[in-house]
């Protein structure tokens, strides 16, 4: 089969790495890809939002299957357009992708179908939003309604922080149209975990749970990011809880989307908080998570292509997982998630243990890699214990400590060592 992967980040590199191992893959392309993907796929200079260009390429190269990584083309209707042209694509339609594209839609959907989530209210007027915050108090969570690359969420510890977030989104329009409507939620407490699933209409096949780290700095300090690291599986989430999450959240969501006339095909991602009342949804994504994908897919025993083809054809893929841990730490450009420099040379890594590197914001200049984004790459590893896995990652990351233009969290997974 000829396969096209749409996207340019670490998630897409992880997908490419899995597909490149499959002998059934004849040609593997990435559009636009990044510097690190070039070793496993042919990178094509077509932007992920150039849907017409991607369709033309898919026809010219007889692409048998397209896999979409990022959220923006999903919400722009890439799946709809490909399907109209008779091209196979593993991705939700824009109608189904609205579950991620609008937090207001997602909250109303969850309320309608009795899916556990935080209490909330939506606002377009700053004064109304501020009055609500003053009434409710802090801590409280303010979210831009639309897509904001994982950065449109403020967990405000004080009323002052919450009121400032309202001004940034509704008055200063920091996130443009994405922040024209905001959702204000109660602040849930408890350990977080993510559960992704392969979905085709009413068939839902959950993966192993992962835990990611959204805040930029150690000890969950600093602004929200797209994710600074992750590990899987999460053994402090019981099997009973996972069964409940599958039944009451993932399965209900898939059934509800069918009922709404928005049947879902692709990856459904639930970001969850394990509260005293049980798991509740923090957010839905309608694609592979990033960086969770980089630590979940390496533990998949099945061929990824076989899984996708089976799911799309209504067959149970019978997922199998390694009995190992996988952890990854993101290296980011100094200043991320705000402004940062590009073009900074990356060191040569001497990988320790069973380590790997998933490239995100990189490009190749001659024989070297340079930074080309906020999250630059992820260094990951697999081992039989979480402690050994994390130790190998941080040994591999040692050369980065000498480069002032980059930073990474030093506490990924460490508080969970000894709990398994």
User: Has residue 331 got a pLDDT over 70?
Assistant: yes
Q: Considering Cα of 21, then 27, then 32, then 35, what sign does the dihedral take?
A: positive
Mean pLDDT score, 380-407: 92
The pLDDT assigned to 89 comes to 98
* CA distance linking residue 2 with residue 12, whole number of Å: 16
- Classify residue 104: in a domain, yes or no: no
Q: Which residues of 130-151 are buried (b: 16+ CB within 10 A; e: fewer)?
A: bebbeebebbbbbbbbbbbebb
- Classify residue 204: in a domain, yes or no: yes
* CA distance linking residue 313 with residue 380, whole number of Å: 32
Mean pLDDT score, 185-214: 96
Same domain, 160 and 86: no
**Helix, strand, or coil (residue 80):** helix
Mean pLDDT score, 335-341: 94
- Classify residue 300: in a domain, yes or no: yes
Same domain, 277 and 170: no
Would you state the structure tokens that stand for residue 287, as one six-digit string?
């694609």
Same domain, 170 and 238: no
First-to-last C-alpha distance (Å) of the chain? 40
Q: Cβ(153)–Cβ(185) under 8 Å?
A: no
Same domain, 357 and 304: no
| Host domain of residue 20 | 2-93
Q: Cβ(370)–Cβ(345) under 8 Å?
A: yes
Same domain, 65 and 47: yes
- Classify residue 101: in a domain, yes or no: no
Is cis: bond before 287, omega within 30 of 0?
Answer: no
pLDDT tens, position by position, 152-173 = 888 999 999 999 999 999 998 8
The pLDDT assigned to 157 comes to 92
User: Has residue 399 got a pLDDT over 90?
Assistant: no
Place of tokens 């001004």: 167
* CA distance linking residue 231 with residue 259, whole number of Å: 34
For helices 103-112 and 94-101, the axis angle rounded to 10 degrees is: 100
User: Has residue 352 got a pLDDT over 80?
Assistant: no
Residue 161's CATH number: 3.30.1490.20
The pLDDT assigned to 418 comes to 58
The pLDDT assigned to 417 comes to 74
Question: Of the residues 282, 312, 342, which one is the last residue of a structural domain?
Answer: 312
Same domain, 175 and 243: no
- Classify residue 139: in a domain, yes or no: yes
Same domain, 196 and 177: no
Helix or strand run (H / E) with residue 11: helix 10-20
Question: Of the residues 186, 216, 238, which one is the last residue of a structural domain?
Answer: 186
- Classify residue 396: in a domain, yes or no: yes
Residue 67's CATH number: 3.40.50.20
Residue 390's CATH number: 3.90.600.10
- Classify residue 105: in a domain, yes or no: no
Count of structural domains within the chain? 4
Mean pLDDT score, 82-91: 98
Q: Cβ(23)–Cβ(80) under 8 Å?
A: no
Same domain, 197 and 307: yes
Mean pLDDT score, 330-359: 90
Same domain, 179 and 240: no
Same domain, 210 and 171: no
The pLDDT assigned to 149 comes to 72
Residue 307's CATH number: 3.30.470.20
Q: Cβ(159)–Cβ(166) under 8 Å?
A: no
Mean pLDDT score, 40-53: 97
The pLDDT assigned to 150 comes to 66
The pLDDT assigned to 76 comes to 97
Q: Cβ(229)–Cβ(213) under 8 Å?
A: yes
Q: How confident is the model at residue 420 (pLDDT cuts 50, 70, 90)?
A: very low
The pLDDT assigned to 152 comes to 83
- Classify residue 197: in a domain, yes or no: yes
Strand 265-275 with 278-285, pairing: antiparallel
The proportion of the chain whose per-residue pLDDT surpasses 90, expressed as a percent, equals 88
Same domain, 215 and 237: yes
Mean pLDDT score, 236-240: 93
* CA distance linking residue 64 with residue 171, whole number of Å: 46
On the CB side of 117, CA atoms within 13 Å amount to 28
* DSSP single-letter state for residue 281: E
Question: Of the residues 157, 186, 215, which one is the last residue of a structural domain?
Answer: 186
Same domain, 125 and 31: no
């Amino acid at each position: 089969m000829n396969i096209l992967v749409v996207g340019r980040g670490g998630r897409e590199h992880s997908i490419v790495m899995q597909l490149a191992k499959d002998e059934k893959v004849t040609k593997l392309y990435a559009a636009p890809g990044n510097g690190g993907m070039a070793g496993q796929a042919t990178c094509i200079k077509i932007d992920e939002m150039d849907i017409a260009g991607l369709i033309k390429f898919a026809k010219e190269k007889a692409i048998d299957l397209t896999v979409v990584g990022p959220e923006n083309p999903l919400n722009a209707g890439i799946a709809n357009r490909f399907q109209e042209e008779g091209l196979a694509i593993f991705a939700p339609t824009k109608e189904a992708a609205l579950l991620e594209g609008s937090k207001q839609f997602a909250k109303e959907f969850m309320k309608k179908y009795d899916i556990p989530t935080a209490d909330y209210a939506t606002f377009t007027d700053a004064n109304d939003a501020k009055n609500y915050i003053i009434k409710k108090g802090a801590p409280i969570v303010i979210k831009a309604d639309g897509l904001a690359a994982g950065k449109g969420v403020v967990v405000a510890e004080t009323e002052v922080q919450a009121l400032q977030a309202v001004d940034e989104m509704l008055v200063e329009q920091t996130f443009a149209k994405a922040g024209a409507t905001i959702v204000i939620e109660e602040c849930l407490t408890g350990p977080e975990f993510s559960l992704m699933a392969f979905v085709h209409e009413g068939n839902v096949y959950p993966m192993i749970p992962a835990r990611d780290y959204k805040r930029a700095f150690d000890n969950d300090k600093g602004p929200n990011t797209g994710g600074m690291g992750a590990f899987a599986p999460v053994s402090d989430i019981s099997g009973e809880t996972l069964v409940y999450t599958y039944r009451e959240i993932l399965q209900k969501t898939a059934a509800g989307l069918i009922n709404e006339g928005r049947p879902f095909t692709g990856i459904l991602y639930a970001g969850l908080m394990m509260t005293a009342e049980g798991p509740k949804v923090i957010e839905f994504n309608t694609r592979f998570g990033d960086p969770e994908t980089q630590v979940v897919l390496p533990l998949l025993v099945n061929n990824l292509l076989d899984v996708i083809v089976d799911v799309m054809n209504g067959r149970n893929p019978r997922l199998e997982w390694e009995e190992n841990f996988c952890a990854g730490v993101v290296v980011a450009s100094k200043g991320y998630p705000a402004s940062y420099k590009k073009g900074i040379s990356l060191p040569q890594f001497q990988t320790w243990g069973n380590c790997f590197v998933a490239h995100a914001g990189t490009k190749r200049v001659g024989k070297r890699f340079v930074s080309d984004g906020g999250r630059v790459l992820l260094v990951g590893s697999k081992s039989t214990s979480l402690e050994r896995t994390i130790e190998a990652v941080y040994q591999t990351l040692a050369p980065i400590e000498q480069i002032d233009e980059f930073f990474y969290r030093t506490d990924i997974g460490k508080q969970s060592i000894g709990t398994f």
